[in-house]
Amino acid sequence: MEENSTENCTRALRVSQLDAQELDNEVIAIIKNQLTKLLKYHKTNILVRYDPEVSAFLKLLVWKFSVLVHNSTVGQNILNLKYLSNRGETWMTKRQRILYAAILIGLPWLKERLSDVLKVIGLMQIRSKVEKLIEWTDISLKIAALVNFLVFLQKGVYHSLVERVLGIQPVFPDKQDIRQVSFEFMTRELLWHGFSELLFFVLPLVNFQRVKNYLSRKVLPKDMSSQSMSKRNLTGCGICGEWPTNPQEIGCAHVFCYYCIQSNYKADPGYCCPLCGINIPDPSTIQHLKMDINLT
């Protein structure tokens, strides 16, 4: 029983056919990725050993609930496309659906498992000849696919070689309405597009570290008491608060990690101590921490 009439069908756009193929590939990749995560800690590593069978099974599963039922792939179904037979009167026939699966699912699996198949049927002695034949066939099919794609770009029919061989083409099963775009919508889109382009140009030029340091100097209070200026704290970096790594000093009572003080000073030449506000006049002011030890 046909779902829709074929009388109102219109030819599918080239971009819609290309997008549908990309969506189909993404669906298989997503399902396989989820299956990989599910069996990530399985000791037998079954996905690596039986990768051709797993890929064929997933494709067969997707084919069963898409092409076999709806006469369209998952990507085509999302974009409201459907396969029409070359006779132009019916959708895909049962024979075309089976051949579609055999070509796109069975042949890739057979290519991957050729050695095992020849071993089972006892034809290992002609393995080299069969592999040579498959190699030349593969090259010929790639050339034919390239020619078919160039014809597709010109005429917009038969996106893949399989579609041309089977005599099926994707169409819009229903008449497509013309999208009305208002002037206000276009103005808003152009405005936001221009604004985003401006941000992409301006933001890399802004030194956010310098802005952050400037705001912290102006907003956060500084401990300028004489006790804090004379009493040295060696247990925590004045910037990150952790135990100082390769401790440095800048002439005040605080110590800093080497990477903390150097990275901040290189990002902002006007950087000063965030705790007491002592300036760093030049790079030579940043020195290794010197300790005075009294042996009395």
pLDDT in tens, 39-68: 777 766 777 788 888 889 999 999 999 999
What is the distance between the alpha carbons of residues 31 and 236, in angstroms, rounded to a whole number?
Answer: 50
Are 33 and 135 part of one and the same domain?
yes
How many domains does the chain contain in total?
Answer: 2
Q: 279 vs 185, 212, 266, 271, 289, CA distance in Å? A: 52, 16, 14, 7, 17
Mean pLDDT, the chain, integer: 81
Question: Which of 172, 207, 229 is the C-terminal boundary of a domain?
Answer: 172
What is the distance between the alpha carbons of residues 219 and 277, in angstroms, rounded to a whole number?
Answer: 12
pLDDT-based confidence at residue 295 (cuts at 50, 70, 90): very low
Torsion of CA 271, 276, 279, 280, to 10 degrees: -70
Work out the end-to-end distance of the chain between its first and last CA atoms, rounded to an integer number of angstroms. Answer: 104
pLDDT at 147 over 90: yes
Are 148 and 223 part of one and the same domain?
no
Residue-wise pLDDT for 183-219, tens only, equals 787 888 889 888 898 888 888 888 777 787 777 777 7
Are 144 and 253 part of one and the same domain?
no
Q: What CATH number corresponds to the domain at position 284?
A: 3.30.40.10
Question: Which of 172, 189, 209 is the C-terminal boundary of a domain?
Answer: 172
pTM: 0.56
Are 149 and 224 part of one and the same domain?
no
Per-residue DSSP letter, 106? I
Q: Give the domain extent around 282.
A: 219-288
